[in-house]
Amino acid sequence: MKITYDPDGEMLYIELNSNYPFKTDTETIPGLAIVYDEAGKVCAIEIEDASALVESPNRVDFEYLAEEEPEQT
């Protein structure tokens, strides 16, 4: 996964995988585009005017939630 933020263009791009070429780039909500590959799998999310929609577009917090192993008795 790759996250790119362009402060000049106010564009936040979250690439989930690099399946090319993209089949469609459908804007479901104004300023929000979901990018699909030819198989219909989501490849990326593009957010225009990011600073108006995202609290801190230039900061990323990452949290990995692994399942805990059950206690053995």
54, 61 Cβ separation under 8 angstroms: no
Is 72 part of any domain? no
Domain count, the chain: 1
Q: Stretch 61-67: mean pLDDT, rounded?
A: 84
Is 35 part of any domain? yes
**pTM for the full model?**
0.75
Site of tokens 């929000």:
32
Residue pLDDT, tens place only, 7-30: 999 999 999 988 777 766 667 788
Is 71 part of any domain? no
Q: What 8-state DSSP symbol labels residue 10?
A: T
The yes-or-no verdict on residue 31 having pLDDT over 90 is no
Q: Which residues are 70's β-sheet partners?
A: none
Is 59 part of any domain? no
Q: Which residues are 37's β-sheet partners?
A: 22
Is 27 part of any domain? yes
Is 62 part of any domain? no
Domain containing residue 45: 2-53
Is 34 part of any domain? yes
